[in-house]
């Protein structure tokens, strides 16, 4: 795990504690905020899972020690003043004790793909008459799957017959239709990213 040297951090500024922001290592979404002292930092480095200092209990606690929803830390960074930490982590389940992925409620869209997925979800829920997504969903998963196949072939052909802009345009069509198909089947972008994260291990 890549992490700053413990002695490079400014532990004195806030009475031995530094804020630790936890970010999803794959999506970039903010999951939670905790605090670390030197012992929590050392424990995190030793076990590879996020360990914090509980200000209310006055003791160390490993995230997920009772729920099993641990945070596997991939990397730790410090800010420019060396008094705040950013933990890039892979969550084993919901981060918040309320059962949500983030302690800040549903994560704010971190990327354009997240925003696009939410638009698709809205079209599938509302089914407006003038919506292409709604019409494609009404035709069924088989038709959506056919569109993904068509767009995949067009993307492959563009890779050898068109310029970079043409390939990018076809790839955008492929990604869009893939997202629609996934949502029709009840699969989220997060589900796919979780699979990708599993393959990094």
pLDDT digits (tens, 9 = 90+) for 18-52: 999 999 887 788 999 999 999 999 999 999 999 99
Flag whether 80 is in a domain.
yes
Domain that holds residue 66: 6-91
Domain count for the chain, please give it.
2
Residue 30 near residue 22, CB atoms below 8 Å: yes
Q: Which of 3, 15, 1, 19 is nearest to 81 (CA)?
A: 19
How high is the mean pLDDT of the chain?
93
Flag whether 98 is in a domain.
no
Q: What does the block give as tokens for 30? A: 């903010």
Element (H or E) spanning 135, and its range? helix 132-139
CATH number at residue 60: 3.10.20.810
Q: Which of 25, 14, 13 is nearest to 86 (CA)?
A: 25
Residue-level pLDDT at 76: 98
Question: Tens of pLDDT along 157-171?
Answer: 999 999 999 999 999
- Same-domain pairing of 119 and 196: yes
Distance CA 59, CA 39 (A): 10
Mean pLDDT of 135-152: 97
Residue-level pLDDT at 200: 66
Q: Is the pLDDT of residue 110 over 80?
A: no
Residue-level pLDDT at 46: 97
Last residue of one domain, picked from the residues 62, 91, 120: 91
Q: What does the block give as tokens for 91? A: 């969550």
- Banded pLDDT at 114 (limits 50, 70, 90): confident
Flag whether 101 is in a domain.
no
Flag whether 155 is in a domain.
yes
Residue-level pLDDT at 83: 96
Start-to-end Cα distance in the chain = 13
């Amino acid at each position: 795990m890549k992490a700053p040297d413990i002695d490079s951090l400014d532990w004195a500024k806030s009475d031995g504690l530094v804020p630790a922001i936890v970010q999803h290592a794959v999506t970039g979404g903010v999951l939670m905020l905790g605090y670390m002292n030197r012992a929590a930092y050392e424990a995190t480095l030793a076990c590879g899972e996020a360990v914090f200092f509980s200000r209310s209990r006055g003791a160390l606690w490993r995230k997920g020690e009772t729920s099993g929803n641990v945070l596997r830390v991939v990397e730790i960074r410090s800010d420019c003043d060396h008094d705040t930490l950013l933990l890039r982590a892979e969550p084993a389940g919901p981060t918040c004790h309320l059962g949500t992925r983030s302690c800040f409620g549903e994560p704010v869209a971190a990327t354009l793909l997240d925003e696009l997925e939410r638009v698709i979800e809205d079209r599938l829920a509302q089914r407006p008459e003038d919506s292409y997504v709604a019409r494609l969903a009404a035709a069924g998963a088989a038709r959506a799957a056919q569109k993904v196949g068509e767009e995949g072939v067009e993307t492959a052909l563009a890779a050898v017959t068109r310029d970079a802009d043409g390939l990018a345009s076809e790839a955008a069509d492929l990604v869009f239709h893939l997202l629609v198909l996934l949502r029709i089947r009840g699969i989220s972008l997060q589900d796919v990213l979780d699979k990708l994260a599993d393959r990094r291990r």
